[in-house]
Amino acid sequence: MFVQLVHFEVKPGHIDDFLDLFRGNIVGGRQEPGIIRFDLLRSAEEEHSFMMYEVFESEAALEEHRETDHYKATVASLDRHLVRPRSKTYMQLALPELE
């Protein structure tokens, strides 16, 4: 499995638009066969801080996701809602035998 964490800091006044934009990506992503988890998380301490928690079967599944229309539409409109460009962290399971 391959995990991607994507961090977003949303501009004040843009949260509703940001959530509307992500709704289509999440609905579409959850239908992709290579995606195991696909969740948008919001900080309990900072209302403008969000993170996507994405678990893929493989790096190839992530690349396939990046070719979908719902991903491309989200990325095309995303930056206007953010304080700074999104950042990404890539992870792997530390104890995959427990899955």
The tens digit of pLDDT for each residue in 72-81 reads 999 999 999 9
pLDDT at 99 > cutoff 80: no
The domain that holds 88 is classified in CATH as 3.30.70.100
**Residue recorded with tokens 């988890």:** 37
Asked if residue 16 belongs to a domain, the reply is yes
Asked if residue 13 belongs to a domain, the reply is yes
Q: Strands 2-9 and 35-42, how do they pair?
A: unpaired
Judge contact between 86 and 78, C-beta under 8 A. Answer: yes
Q: Is the pTM of this model over 0.85?
A: yes
Tokens of 3: 């995990």
The two counts, helices (H) then strands (E), for the chain are: 3, 4
Asked if residue 54 belongs to a domain, the reply is yes
> Can you give the residue range of the structural domain that contains 46?
2-93
Asked if residue 99 belongs to a domain, the reply is no
Mean pLDDT on 80-89: 97
The tens digit of pLDDT for each residue in 6-43 reads 999 999 999 999 999 999 999 999 999 999 999 999 99
Asked if residue 79 belongs to a domain, the reply is yes
Asked if residue 85 belongs to a domain, the reply is yes
